[in-house]
Amino acid sequence: GMIFAINYPITMLWFRKIEARSTRRQWMGKMAVAFGMLYALRAWVKGPLTYPKIQYNETNPYFGFIPLVAYIFLRNLTPTMRSYSMDLLHEIGKTTLETYLMQHHIWLSSNSKTVLTFIPGWPRVNLVMVTFIYVLLTRKIHNLTLLLRTIILPDDREACIRSLVGLMVAIAGFYCTAFVVEEMGMSNLMSVGVVSIVCGTLLYQSVMDSTWATYREAAKAAKKSLDADLGDSDDHNTTTSESEFSTGNAEDQETTISRFCPPLIGAMVVLVIGLIWNGFAATGASSIGRLPPTCDAFVNNGSWIPIDGCNEASRSMAYRENHVSSFGMCLPHGNANIWAWDKQPSHTHCRFGNRDEMQVKKVLNNRKVVFIGDSMTRNLYHASLRMMGVTGSGAYD
């Protein structure tokens, strides 16, 4: 995006220069560029686009710009085409940053491993509901981002530097507080809530103390400017004196309620959010972590699922219906069985599941695993190797 913005003036200058020439020379130049872009697009379609997922992800940063640049050029080939635009794409483009960030927190959850579900058993209705919340929140976050940008980073250079310094000090203070709480072993819901309320109140009071005088002077200046536009001098003097009386003693008219009401409301909001969070966590809506000891009662609840490792449809169905995603062997006869656990109630926190290759390697990194036993243990050994990416392990069986 930044590279495109830098080259945008150059591209528009090229369009203006070439469109100032004769029609024949104009289209010869445009078609020459379009031919080169279409040739590159054809090579991308027959090459990187057909790669497997992992290889495609590795090469996409180097070739992903080809279809984008080709579309942008062909889409804006003539002045008539550039004079039309779609408001829907324009509105979506305003919140691309927010939609990219929030997709991992609303559309997906648990580090993009699970889907946020409000209506179990109704996936399409749930998708519509989650999408509505997703779009609504991204729009709200976009508006808040613009508002906070003008507050935290104003156009005045001195005020902007002062805000940046204050912001860095506040962030450093919160990091230090979190480090101290973590080292003291107090990272529970109650301590987090107390620290959030105290630090939030201090931050609120600091912002109010540093901005209230400026706000009062700005309000006074705006009042005087409004009074000056009203007309004759008598009315002007009267309203000016009234405005000075009403704004000049604003600090003296501050009450305890006006000072403590906003942080009190904020503390109540934090408390309510904490209670809701605690309720979700108690019923199973927490991040995926280590299985609790109580899961021993469910560890054998499951069944063997027949899968054709050579068939993408069979593997996809096993993933959707039984959450089996780490089958890495394509046997000559096709069919094989892999264990899948039954889904347990969310409040048990027993989320059994097969780990993929990257997760297994991360868990077993710098560790040794010894397999001792008979042929069944040997099969477990080969299955473990297949989970770590050695797809041919045990093929002689």
Q: Does residue 236 carry a pLDDT above 50?
A: no
Mean pLDDT of 205-223: 68
Q: What is the pLDDT of residue 250?
A: 45
Residue 230 has pLDDT above 70, yes or no: no
Per-residue pLDDT tens over the stretch 117-138: 777 667 788 888 888 988 998 9
Instruction: Identify the pLDDT of residue 383.
Output: 79
Segment 289-314 shows an average pLDDT of: 77
Specify the range with the lowest mean pLDDT, choosing from 87-91, 214-218, 234-238, 307-311: 234-238
The Cα 353–Cα 341 span in angstroms is: 7
What local confidence, expressed as pLDDT, does residue 372 receive?
A: 92
Percent of the chain with pLDDT over 70: 73
Q: Which residue has the higher pLDDT, 251 or 339?
A: 339
Cα–Cα distances (Å) from 180 to 1, 176, 184, 193, in that order, read: 40, 6, 6, 15
With contact defined as beta carbons under 8 Å apart, do 239 and 230 qualify? Answer: yes
* Span 45-75, pLDDT tens digits: 999 888 888 888 888 888 888 998 899 889 8
* Contact partners, residue 224, CB within 8 Å, separation at least 6: 240, 243
Of 384 and 189, which is predicted with more confidence? Answer: 384
271: pLDDT strictly greater than 80: no
Q: How far apart are CA 360 and CA 325, in angstroms?
A: 12
Most confident of 183-187, 355-359, 373-377: 373-377
**Cβ atoms 130, 308 nearer than 8 A:** no
- Alpha-carbon distances, residue 91 vs 47, 69, 87, 106, 139 (angstroms): 33, 21, 6, 20, 10
Q: Residue 31: pLDDT band by 50, 70, 90 thresholds?
A: very high
Structure token digits, residue 177 = 């507080």
Mean pLDDT over each residue of the chain, to the nearest integer:
77
In this predicted structure, the answer to whether residue 248 has a pLDDT above a threshold of 50 is no
Ranked by mean pLDDT, the top range of 118-122, 156-160, 200-204, 236-240 is: 156-160
Residue in the block written with tokens 């604003």: 250
Q: Is the pLDDT of residue 252 over 80?
A: no
Q: Which residue has the tokens 């992800």?
A: 57
Non-local (6+) Cβ contacts of 283 within 8 A are 346, 347
With 90 as the cut, is the pLDDT of residue 42 above it? yes
Question: What was the pLDDT predicted at 191?
Answer: 77
**Confidence at residue 100, expressed as pLDDT on a 0 to 100 scale:** 86
Residues near 129 by beta carbon (within 8 Å), at least 6 away in sequence: 118, 119
CA 143: distance to chain centroid? 16
Residue 229: band (very low, low, confident or very high) from pLDDT cuts 50, 70, 90: low
Percent of the chain with pLDDT over 90: 5
Flag whether pLDDT at 175 surpasses 80.
Answer: yes
pLDDT of residue 43: 93
Return the pLDDT at 309.
65
Residue 243: the pLDDT is 45
For residue 22, is pLDDT > 70? yes
Could you give the maximum distance between any two Cα atoms of the chain, in Å?
106
For the ranges 40-49, 169-178, 365-374, which has the lowest average pLDDT? 169-178
* Residue 3 reports pLDDT greater than 80: no
pLDDT at 240 over 50: no
